Amino acid sequence: MKVLVTGGAGYIGSHTVLSLLENNYDVIVYDNLVNSSVESLDRVEKLAGKSVEFVEGDICDKAALSHVFKKFKIDAVIHFAALKAVGESAQIPLSYYQNNVHGSVCLLEVMQENDVHNFIFSSSATVYGEENEVPYVETMKLGTPSSPYGASKVMVERILADMTVSNGRFRGVSLRYFNPIGAHESGGIGEDPTGIPNNLLPYVAQVAVGKRDKLSIFGDDYPTKDGSCERDYLHVMDLAQGHVAALNWLNCNDEFRGVEAFNLGTGNGISVFSIVKAFEKATNKIIPFEVSPRRAGDLPAFWANANKANKELNWQASRSLEQMMEDTWRWQSNNPDGYLT
């Protein structure tokens, strides 16, 4: 089975490509390399002992996408290609809607033109918005997210729902997940943000390796146990395996039509301060930090109820917080400059 992975050279994408190869899928990666490196795929190939077809291209380029579909005879698509920084999305919302929403429409149009109907969407817990109470469950209505990033994910989920009405053959899975952290246990692939990291743990790791002077913690006055934001952090390899489980689920349910949503998470909210302490404990490194003003778009706390994925996808987040920290440090300490090392 040939699987097209858009954004497959990125952080979550590269780990998912590795899991797909390990599960005997043929993989074609389509990525514009704006926030990623083709070196990640070279390392994936070495870890898996298998090759990956790579095409450099933009998700909004329908002509390039059409060429890929015709050349490789795609059977299914896993769609990661998106801008993903909550804070940045408030500063440049048009870029987020252009890439995340318009890009997804371009991809879905090309899929339909080429008679491809199996689609797994990399969504987000932010689709639940501020109205829904935690823990989030899939039966909740889509909310009103506090950032353009989250709004872009809601828009795509609504587009997918409309697709099922107009296209009776469409089979979609929307994976709503939380904060992936960690790296492959080999230390060969991991998170390599371009410029200043937008996410917590890569920033912590860069402070530990000496690339950054100190960590900024955005707000310590939230209504949480220690005043910092609480999130559902899960290991990136658990998340990658969740995407493979979703693809396997589609393959085993030939009669399924429509779109099904699944939360992927641990079911536990962990604070920013707790993450810093856990990293220090796992690595024996001291992380200097300062408290900065809150970021636009950040909610105090959210985490998942992943019972549906546990039951229907036979998937569960199994790696501990300690392992997430250790794998992050193995990656960062072995690759202080990321894939440029």
**Catalytically annotated residue among 30, 149, 177, 222:** 149
Rounded to a whole number, what is the distance in angstroms from the first to the last CA of the chain?
34
Would you call 237 helix, strand, or coil by DSSP? Answer: helix
DSSP codes, 315-328: ------HHHHHHHH
Specify the amino acid at residue 163.
Answer: M
Distance between CA 330 and CA 340 in Å, rounded? 16
Specify the amino acid at residue 162.
Answer: D
Would you call 209 helix, strand, or coil by DSSP? Answer: coil
Cis previous bond, 135, omega within 30:
yes
Give the bridge partners for 29, in sequence order: 5, 54
What CA–CA distances, in Å, run from 200 to 56, 91, 153?
A: 28, 19, 21
Cα-to-chain-centroid distance, residue 303: 15
Distance between CA 17 and CA 100 in Å, rounded? 21
96 exposure class (CB count in 10 Å sphere: 0-12, 13-18, 19+): buried
Tokens at 286, concatenated: 């001291």
136 is catalytic: no
Beta carbons within 8 Å of 63's beta carbon, 6+ residues apart: none
DSSP codes, 75-93: -EEEE--S---HHHHHHSH
Distance between CA 179 and CA 199 in Å, rounded? 9
Count CB neighbours of 95 within 10 A: 13
Which residues does the annotation mark as catalytic?
Answer: 149
